[in-house]
């Protein structure tokens, strides 16, 4: 168990240390390569000077040393290439290891969650929710049901009575005479003029006799 717990960090530390060591070696090889390039260039300049001085043998010796430097430079280039290749492999392996560890951690967490909530618990919870929902529906229906005197009313009779009221209201509206607003000439009297009063009506003979009879009875 302790190996599993402490082994992975140690492996990761070793990978990081190896990459750092390779980087240091690569920097050292690059520095050596620059030095050899300068030396090779210097030998070329010397060979030119000896050539101008007609010292052919010394010029050839300079070119030989230049070739040796170039061989070392080529060798250092191969070393650098191998180090780059090794670094890429280590970085890829490190990324792969980290990915696998992350996936393993996720799988363990998922497994623990599944153990905490199995299918039986889910089914039981859903049954309880459905039961509570059904109980709530029954309670709401019971509260909406009329009680007392209101429960004895016949809905069909109430609907029929409402239709009769609507028909009676419609008939009453149809039987009402159409009323029009009086004209302005009939209602408005010009200023300064009064509406002419009709002359007093003369009594007939029958009315005169009736008035005389009422006067005698009063006496």
Task: Determine, yes or no, domain membership for 37.
Answer: yes
Please count the structural domains in the chain: 1
**Residue 179: per-residue pLDDT:** 52
**Residue 168: per-residue pLDDT:** 84
Phi, psi of 146 (to 5 degrees): -65, 145
Domain encompassing residue 77: 32-102
Helix (H) or strand (E) holding 23: helix 2-52
Given a cut of 50, the residues of the chain with pLDDT beneath it are 1-7, 180-181, 183-187, 219
Task: Determine, yes or no, domain membership for 219.
Answer: no
Task: Determine, yes or no, domain membership for 72.
Answer: yes
Task: Determine, yes or no, domain membership for 21.
Answer: no
**Residue 198: per-residue pLDDT:** 55
Task: Determine, yes or no, domain membership for 89.
Answer: yes
Residue 40: name the closest of 17, 18, 72 by CA. 72
**Residue 66: per-residue pLDDT:** 94
**Residue 48: per-residue pLDDT:** 93
CA distance 193 to 54: 154
Place of tokens 């390779």: 22
Task: Determine, yes or no, domain membership for 77.
Answer: yes
Task: Determine, yes or no, domain membership for 180.
Answer: no
The whole-model pTM stands at 0.45
**Residue 57: per-residue pLDDT:** 93
Task: Determine, yes or no, domain membership for 5.
Answer: no
């Amino acid at each position: 168990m302790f190996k599993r717990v402490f082994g992975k960090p140690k492996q990761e530390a070793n990978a990081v240390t190896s990459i750092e060591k390779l980087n240091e070696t690569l920097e050292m090889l690059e520095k050596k390569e620059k030095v050899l390039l300068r030396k090779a260039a210097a030998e070329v300049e010397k060979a030119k000077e000896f050539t101008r001085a007609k010292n052919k043998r010394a010029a050839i010796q300079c070119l030989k040393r230049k070739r040796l430097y170039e061989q070392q430079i080529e060798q250092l280039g191969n070393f650098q290439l191998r180090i780059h290749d090794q670094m890429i492999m280590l970085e890829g392996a490190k990324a792969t290891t980290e990915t696998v560890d992350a996936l393993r951690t996720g799988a363990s967490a998922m497994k623990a969650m599944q153990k905490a909530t199995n299918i039986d618990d889910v089914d039981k919870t859903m049954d309880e929710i459905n039961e509570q929902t059904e109980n709530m529906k029954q309670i709401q229906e019971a509260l909406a049901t009329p009680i007392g005197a209101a429960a004895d009313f016949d809905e069909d009779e109430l609907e029929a009575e409402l239709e009769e009221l609507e028909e009676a209201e419609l008939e009453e509206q149809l039987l009402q005479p159409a009323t029009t607003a009086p004209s302005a000439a009939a209602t408005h009297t010009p200023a300064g003029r009064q509406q002419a009063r009709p002359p007093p009506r003369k009594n007939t003979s029958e009315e005169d006799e009736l008035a005389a009879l009422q006067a005698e009875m009063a006496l």
